[in-house]
Amino acid sequence: MGSMEVKPTAVAYVQLASVSNGNRGKSLTAYSSRTVKDPRPAHTTIQMRNMFSPLASPTASVPTSLLAENKSYIEWLNKQRVNSVIYIGMGSLALMEISEVMETALGLAASNQHFLWVIPPGSIHGSEWTESLPEEFSKTVSDRGYIVKWAPQKKVLAHHAIGGFWSHCGWNSTLESISEGVPMICWPSTSDQKVNARYVECVWKTGIQVEGELDRGVVERAVKRLMVDEEGEDMRKIAFSLKEQLRASVRSGGSSHSSLEEFVRLMRTL
């Protein structure tokens, strides 16, 4: 069997390098974007053997759910103004109590902002989907909201109508948000989410962290800060700048592209 040539330009992956004393880490087993910092401690990154996340065009993304895509959400988004919709996506593993869902819905309604909310089946405790929620739920969200069971996250974040992203702030979601220049409302619950959220808020300054139990007032204030206030507009500008820097890093001559070429050259010498 003949050897297969590896072309660095065919790969679009970015590792956000760990940082120690202000110097970005470098690895023999990965290539890294020198644009932004990885919030995880260096020793954690080493133990995890350098996790990767995709940074590619959303139109080229591969579906990652067994649920059928309900494309009606795109038609709904197309009718909305630029940066006028907040996308709520807590992932497929997060479990919310009915009270949390209701408080979130009431807070969203009070904010008077449009929202796209992905609620996967089984993500509400004690309910298959939304059938166990009070009748008030449907009335609350029907005016300005649109709810689906699943939607391709990168495709949603790339849409011009999306102006914010409410997330648990897992690392993949954080990277996808940065790669599309969308600021975040972070509601972390476990694992690395709290570290990621603190980094988004305090270091990159591209989001707001919400802590503790949710109530409608907290939700309303967070959404208005991100979607209405000047503070949110500043976050969008910073997020867009990071997006441009990241995309430049994977082009020919960019830091990640160059690091990948270096990695491929090293592998060929082994």
What's the confidence (pLDDT) of residue 57?
43
Q: What is the dihedral of CA 87, 173, 60, 262, to 10 degrees?
A: 150
110-128 tens-digit pLDDT: 999 999 999 888 788 777 7
What's the confidence (pLDDT) of residue 79?
96
What's the confidence (pLDDT) of residue 42?
41
- Report CA 144 to chain centroid distance, whole Å: 22
Q: Which long-range contacts (CB under 8 A, 24 or more apart) does 199-204 make?
A: 199/37, 199/39, 200/169, 200/174, 203/37, 203/39, 204/36, 204/178, 204/238, 204/242
- Report CA 161 to chain centroid distance, whole Å: 16
Q: Which one of 27-31, 57-61, 242-246 scores highest in mean pLDDT?
A: 242-246
Residue with tokens 């309604």: 109
Residue with tokens 């807070």: 107
pLDDT at 99 over 80: yes
Q: What is the dihedral of CA 167, 141, 106, 219, to 10 degrees?
A: 20
What's the confidence (pLDDT) of residue 15?
38
Of 177, 168, 167, nearest to 58 by C-alpha is 177
By three-state DSSP, how is residue 86 classified? strand
In order of their start, the domains of the chain are 8-55+250-269 (no CATH), 61-245 (3.40.50.2000)
Which of 32-41, 207-216, 219-228, 255-264 is predicted with the least confidence, judged by mean pLDDT? 32-41
Which of 31-35, 50-54, 179-183 is predicted with the least confidence, judged by mean pLDDT? 50-54
What's the confidence (pLDDT) of residue 141?
83
Q: What percent of the chain has pLDDT over 70?
A: 74
158-189 tens-digit pLDDT: 999 999 999 999 999 999 999 999 999 999 98
Tokens for 86, please give them. 């907040």
Which of 68-72, 116-120, 139-143, 199-203 is predicted with the least confidence, judged by mean pLDDT? 68-72
At 43, is the pLDDT very low, low, confident or very high (cuts 50, 70, 90)?
very low
Higher confidence at residue 48 or residue 212? 212
